[in-house]
């Protein structure tokens, strides 16, 4: 009897984004997938922050890359604060299309207040036909309760929730992962190359953190691990010689 109650309590206490969902979203890069425990959790909230405001489009690119990975032809709800759209520009259909995201499957919603942003995100997350919801906000804190509500809504419908922030947040997060993303210089000289971002996983509820340079391949519609300009120690997890046979 006690044991049964304990089981039920455990089930109730499970944090969203932690429990095993059937199909984590594979990034297509074994190193990252291992750190993430098989891939990015689909029905969970992930925070993506730009290293600084000027790197906001790089963070946008990373979020869009995850969106393309989330479903064969993903339906995306992009909810942004008015200021974010005015400062950083509105999503450009031709650019999105080249990125691998059909503009006709995108709905852009602009909101005046943070309160409306969170409400609209939650509404969109509860809709099962939406694959990904991107919420875009300028600087400023977030209520922990609101973040948890979003996580729960995402878990309920198995929708990918991405919170795009203009500056690295200082508040503690209950999101499944938190990334800090900036632009990375192209490998080729004299000519801007493929979209390339330096993605830093600074918080991961399922394990290790890490830092990678990723290049978006338009033709394949996936991320490719680019060579790092500086040597970086491999994440502690990825050390085969330390593993017990």
Options 2, 5, 12, 189; binder of another protein; rule CB under 8 A: 189
65 and 216 in contact (C-beta within 8 Å)? yes
Least separation, in Å, of the C-beta of 139 and another protein? 15
Options 9-17, 106-114, 138-146, 200-208: segment touching another protein (CB under 8 A): 106-114
- Closest to 151 (Cα-Cα) out of 6, 14, 8: 14
- Asked if 196 is part of the footprint of another protein (rule: CB under 8 A), the reply reads yes
Least separation, in Å, of the C-beta of 63 and another protein? 9
- Asked if 207 is part of the footprint of another protein (rule: CB under 8 A), the reply reads no
- Give CA–CA dist 197/215, Å, rounded: 6
Residue ranges with strand state E in 113-204: 132-137, 160-165, 177-183, 196-204
Residues 6+ apart with CB under 8 A from 178: 46, 47, 48, 49, 169, 201, 202, 203, 204
Give, as ranges, the residues between 60 and 99 that touch another protein (CB under 8 A).
60-62, 64, 75, 77, 85-86, 88-99
Options 21, 26, 186, 211; binder of another protein; rule CB under 8 A: 186
Options 120, 150, 160, 164; binder of another protein; rule CB under 8 A: 120
User: To which H or E segment does residue 49 belong?
Assistant: strand 45-50
- Give CA–CA dist 244/215, Å, rounded: 33
Residue ranges that bind another protein, judged by CB under 8 A: 54-58, 60-62, 64, 75, 77, 85-86, 88-99, 102-104, 106-111, 116, 119-120, 123-124, 127-130, 182-186, 188-192, 195-198, 216
């Amino acid at each position: 009897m006690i044991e049964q109650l304990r089981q039920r309590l455990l089930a109730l206490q499970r944090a969203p984004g932690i429990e095993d969902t059937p199909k984590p979203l594979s990034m297509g890069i074994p190193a990252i997938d291992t750190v993430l425990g098989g891939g990015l959790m689909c029905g969970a909230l992930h925070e993506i922050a730009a290293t600084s405001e000027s790197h906001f489009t790089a963070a946008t690119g990373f979020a869009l890359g995850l969106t393309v990975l989330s479903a064969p032809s993903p339906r995306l709800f992009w909810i942004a604060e008015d200021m974010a759209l005015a400062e950083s520009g509105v999503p450009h259909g031709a650019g999105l299309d080249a990125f691998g995201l059909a503009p006709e499957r995108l709905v852009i919603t602009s909101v005046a207040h943070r309160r409306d942003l969170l409400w609209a995100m939650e509404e969109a997350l509860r809709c099962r036909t939406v694959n990904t919801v991107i919420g875009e906000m300028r600087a400023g804190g977030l209520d922990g309760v609101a973040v948890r509500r979003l996580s729960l809504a995402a878990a309920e419908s198995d929708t990918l929730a991405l919170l795009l922030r203009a500056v690295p947040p200082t508040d503690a997060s209950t999101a499944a992962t938190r990334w800090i993303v900036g632009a990375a210089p192209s490998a080729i000289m004299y000519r801007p190359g493929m979209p390339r971002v330096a993605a830093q996983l600074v918080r991961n509820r399922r394990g290790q953190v890490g830092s990678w340079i990723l290049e978006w391949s338009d033709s394949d519609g996936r991320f490719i691990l680019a060579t790092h300009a500086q040597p970086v120690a491999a994440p502690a997890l990825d050390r085969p010689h330390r593993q017990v046979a």
